[in-house]
Chains A and B, each alone.
Chain A
């Protein structure tokens, strides 16, 4: 049974370039989360979707970041233009939203390096 799938696993790009990270949640999950992890700031929630609708994007650092979820099986996180301080590991996670907490399952992450 496939878990959360992320691509690419590694991305090296130059400052100013557009970066697109992709995520396929676990089939049947209706909530999707994008996180960023750095040594300095730890793991931070960027945005989450419920039933493909963005619910809270207060963690998105600035307008250079955007996220979409066109359908239940696919989401993207785009950075345009990228900057060196965007270098981090970006995780996508999914779960089944309900009345009580359900475990979030994380993908393997995309390690982004912006030169």
Chain B
């Protein structure tokens, strides 16, 4: 079983739709949680951190459920430019070693 699991998709949605991605992690000692975004043939970039209390950044909302070891990302009013692969990421250890999920591909259509 992978340490961080995601539905690979693709999720094909029309512009303006709301889409949700989920992720589960297996290591209960994980300390920090993130969503990274990766465009085709580009490097991953941090989208947002994920906190137990939930956090919002514009159209993006992330939530963490430590008891269920579950992380989510909600994108509202999706734009064409949101098309990318979204990577669920878990950090462990003092060195902030990152473990990446396999990614969920999102395609927003006009």
Q: Measuring CB to CB, which residues of chain A are less than 8 angstroms from any residue of chain B?
A: 31, 33, 42-45, 48, 50, 55-56, 91, 95, 97, 100-104, 106-109
Contact = CB atoms under 8 A, between A and B. Distances in A.
A37 to B, nearest CB: 9
Given A106-B43, A106-B45, A108-B42, A43 B87 contact: yes
A-B residue pairs, 9 tightest by C-beta? A106-B43, A43-B100, A101-B32, A42-B102, A103-B46, A101-B96, A106-B44, A101-B91, A55-B95
A45 B97 contact: yes
A48 B43 contact: no
A107 B95 contact: no
9 contacts: A31-B96, A43-B100, A45-B98, A45-B99, A48-B95, A97-B96, A101-B49, A104-B46, A104-B98
